[in-house]
A and B are shown apart, each in its own frame.
Chain A
Amino acid sequence: MGLADKLLRGGRATTLTTTLATALIFTGGGAFAAPDAAPRDAFPSTYQAAAQPPFAIVGATVLTGTGAEIADATVLVRDGSVEAVGAKLPVPEGYVEIDGRGKWVTPGIIDAHSHLGVYPSPATPSHEDGNEAVAPNTAEVWAEHSVWPQDPKFRLARAGGVTSLMILPGSANLFGGRSVTLKNVPAVTTQGMKFPHAPYGLKMACGENPKRVYGSKGRSPATRMGNVAGYRKAWIDAADYARKWDKWEKDGRAGDPPKRDLQLETLAGVLNGEILVQNHCYRADEMAVMIDVAREFGYKIRAFHHANEAFKIAPLLAKEDICVATWANSWGAKMESLDGIEETAPMIDAAGGCAIIHSDDGLLIQRLNQEAGIAMTAANHAGLSISRGEAIKWITANPAKAMGIADRVGTLEPGKMADVVLWSANPFSVYALADRVWIDGVPMWDRSDPRYQAPSDFLLGQPGQEFAR
């Protein structure tokens, strides 16, 4: 049964294996190459981790990202992957040994909401490439085409232990465009940072931003009901587009394929489950409306972002399996964020949901560990019982889930990519610094070794670079 059929029947299908998908994922290299069909990997990742000798971090306290805290642990890394983690494991011969005594190890920190590269430093108008704020639906734009890999903030985030991050378009539009997931490695091109085969996300936005941006221009949406009408109209068009591709497939690809439409292609990618919806939405009532819109058109929302009021509907979000990416400290800038509290993430967690602490900010991305510590402390003060092993998931395993890369990163389980941080102290402490960071087992940051602290091209030769930062 094709996607179009399911939509015609008003179905609530969540796994849409469709012929449309086949049409959309054509690589263009095979016998069936249809020049007009969308290539699966139009801007492929060129990132490759360099080979490294195997190593062992010995004697540290490890938060695995699975919920466990292991004292006096050994972490074995081989061929860019986690090989084993356990208490007092013997170190095999030939492994470089790293003294972790008195220190802590976590999976690499993952930020599910960043604008690094699309809003780089310095923040000049020539650099502001994050919001295509000219129409409420710009699903056709891709954040990766705005990313400036020389943004000095990538290195600052690396010094904060961030190894993967999702770069999103801004929230001016109902549909802001595609996100891109990056490995936080120094590179000259964005393709050189792209997380290989990470799914795309679609940035959507609720509430005040779209209605303010377009209402002030005297056009729709000017209200929240205008916002919702805008989403529904777009999904109707996307379903129609999907039907045309379905028909072409069913007809044995006879004749010309339908003309590709970049905007509808991204929306159809959501309907077939390949592209994950990342929905900026603050208020509980609006999140509930967005869940109903998703039901109406048969797609899933992967995560609500910012979501200051998510704590009011924690059981609903857990039941719907929608992650909540939020902060501990941010609130009150707008009416829709007035009810923000420190305990949103832990209350989602306590309800059995997927809680995430995100940054949305070039400063906070350097200290996601502290933000998680603030939420954890506030929650425990309120009588919830959140362990360190649980809280670390908010900035490792859970963002990996929201970004669709949990099979490869987010925990220190054997076989996972060896994205690892060695902290000078308990990572929830304000005094903890990332001593060393590995990405795919390759050293990418060392607080005591200038070789890993090179500034971006932009900062080279600029004033005031005499000290590492």
Chain B
Amino acid sequence: MTRRLLALAALAFATSASAETIAIVDARLMTMTAAGEVERGTIVIRDGRITAIGPGVAVPVGARVIDGRGGTVTPGFIQADSTLGAVEVSQVPASADRATHSAAISAGFDISLGLNPDSILLPVSRLAGITHAVTTPLYDDRGGRDLQFAGQAAVIDLAQRPDMVTRPRAAMVLEMGEGGAERAGGARGSAIVELKATLADVRHFAAHRVAYDRGEGRPQKLSRVDLEALIPVAEGRMSLIVKVDRASDIREIIALAREEKLRVIFDGAEEGWRVAADIAAAKFPVILDPLADLPHSFSELGATMENAARLHAAGVMVIIKTGSGVAHRARELRYGAGNAVAYGLPHDAAVAAITVNPARVFGVADRVGSLEAGRAADLVLWNGDPLEPLSQPQAIFVEGVEKPLTARPLELRDRYLPR
């Protein structure tokens, strides 16, 4: 709450650039709310906040007018499963804070601490319409697949401001399936048993904390910070992002989640379409890469470009991502959504999969992911279909602040572009 108040205060004292009235006119509005799509409408933004939106909205006197020229306004996109803010150059370890190999800190790893708002990757991704990301820990497996959990993900904004964390500790990351098997000694059965044992340990710890403080707890495999971090997971208050692909692994996790009363978000789920009805019945959302169609491992033999469309048709809430732990190539998010459309996902469902769906699943839907009067403007004006490579952004607002349409690669380009 304090953070929210501070954010409001920051807005109140924002630069003169945002202390003005702006009207985006003549644009198709994809509100991602009950209002649906407005074929031709206007958005009025006063001091960074949407004050009016819809067809037939009057442009206030003195407003700066941004002519949409028949383009499209979408909410800012949200890149799930990213490492934005936690990496500069992938192969330069000192520039990356996206993974830990400390044996004492796995579930306890909190990626929201130590992020870099000055990352040159943020404006690059912003030019692709991305205003928020779910920055998600990776595993550091250089010394072997030892850690059980990768850590806790955070929702961040790409405004390049010091207070960039929209929601810290938004979910816990756990790899199961092939990778989880390796972490647990080499077999899936071992990984599932280990997870149950861990949850029992966490619950015991939570119920006997005072005894542990006196040194009278039972021996624990995980460190104290890991146990603390897992309490909300074991109590069903924090979602568990489970990375699995094989259809049978997905079923096992659904059964285990029911038994242990866990809230699960599937990540990957390349064979998800094969068990779509089970996922829908469990009401677990799925984060997927619609381009992932390679039978890259024995867990992904059924991978197909139709995964997104089939899961959506079965009633599963789909969140689209690109790659895994993506950062430099986050700008491909909207193309991934477009390709999902080419393989059968309805266009509005594809836009929802990169806006309102991740906003809901990661608990920030009151601030981002849809266009509504009363909230900070977090939106992008496109000169065409936002999912097309042939379209470009014309204006970008991140939580009330209009951002320039530039980034380091464009400065490099301009330095060498013949005049």
Contact = CB atoms under 8 A, between A and B. Distances in A.
B9 interface: no
Contacts of A428: 389-390
A429 B409 CA distance: 23
A464 B417 contact: no
Given A362-B294, A464-B274, A343 B304 contact: no
Interface string B385-419: 00111111000000000000000011011101110
B271 to A, nearest CB: 6
Interface in A331-387: 331-335, 338-343, 347, 350-351, 362-363, 366-367, 370, 373-374, 377, 381-384
Contact of A311 (B293, B298, B416): B416
A407 B47 CA distance: 62
Given A338-B89, A374-B335, A383-B417, A331 B294 contact: no
Contacts of B91: 208, 333-335
Contact of B387 (A152, A335, A366, A430): A430
Nearest to A156: B293
B302 A431 contact: no
Given A122-B295, A377-B390, A465-B302, A329 B331 contact: yes
A123 B178 CA distance: 13
Interface in B368-397: 387-392
Nearest to B305: A469
Interface string B250-293: 00000000000000000000010010000000000000000111
A27 B293 CA distance: 43
Contacts of A121: 294-296
A334 B90 contact: yes
A458 B295 CA distance: 10
Nearest to B295: A121
A143 B293 CA distance: 25
Contact of A373 (B293, B295, B301, B390): B390
A448 interface: no
B89 A467 contact: no
21 contacts: A121-B295, A121-B296, A122-B295, A124-B297, A208-B91, A334-B90, A341-B412, A347-B417, A363-B292, A363-B294, A377-B392, A382-B413, A382-B414, A384-B417, A431-B338, A433-B342, A462-B302, A463-B247, A464-B247, A464-B303, A464-B304
DSSP majority for the B interface? Answer: loop
B414 to A, nearest CB: 8
Nearest to B87: A332
B237 interface: no
A312 interface: yes
Interface residues of B, number: 48
Interface in B298-349: 298, 300-306, 327-329, 331-332, 335, 338-339, 341-342
B45 interface: no
Interface string A408-432: 0000000000000000000011111
B5 interface: no
Contact of B293 (A334, A370, A433, A469): A469
Contact of A122 (B296, B339, B413): B296
A332 B301 contact: no
Nearest to B248: A463
B1 interface: no
Contacts of B271: 463-464
A7 B109 CA distance: 61
Contact of A331 (B291, B303, B409, B418): B409
A459 interface: yes
A381 B410 CA distance: 11
A341 B409 contact: yes
A189 interface: no
B353 interface: no
Given A332-B328, A333-B90, A334-B90, A430 B416 contact: no
A462 B390 contact: no
B295 to A, nearest CB: 5
Q: 10 closest A-B pairs (Cβ-Cβ)?
A: A464-B302, A430-B338, A332-B328, A469-B304, A341-B409, A374-B389, A373-B389, A333-B90, A334-B91, A462-B301
A329 B329 contact: yes
A178 interface: no
A342 B409 contact: yes
A314 to B, nearest CB: 8
A381 to B, nearest CB: 5
A462 B274 CA distance: 13
Centre residue among A123, A340, A431 by max chain B CB count within 10 A: A431
A330 interface: yes
A338 B338 CA distance: 27
Interface of B: 88-92, 121, 247, 271, 274, 291-298, 300-306, 327-329, 331-332, 335, 338-339, 341-342, 387-392, 409-410, 412-414, 416-418
Centre residue among A121, A342, A432, A464 by max chain B CB count within 10 A: A464
Contact of B294 (A153, A340, A367, A384): A153
Given A152-B294, A377-B389, 8 more contacts: A123-B297, A333-B90, A341-B410, A428-B390, A458-B295, A459-B295, A463-B274, A465-B301
Contacts of A367: 291, 339
A153 B303 CA distance: 12
A102 to B, nearest CB: 16
Given A335-B92, A382-B413, A467 B306 contact: yes
A168 B417 CA distance: 32
Nearest to A333: B90
B158 to A, nearest CB: 16
Given A332-B90, A339-B412, A382-B417, A430 B335 contact: yes
A428 B390 CA distance: 8
Given A332-B89, A464-B274, A429 B388 contact: yes
Interface in A135-177: 152-153, 156
Contact of A351 (B88, B89, B298, B418): B418
Contacts of A124: 297
Contacts of A464: 247, 271, 274, 301-304
Contacts of A350: 418
B96 to A, nearest CB: 11
Nearest to B411: A341
A467 B327 CA distance: 31
Contacts of B89: 332-335, 338
A314 B294 CA distance: 35
Contacts of A430: 335, 338-339, 341-342, 387-389
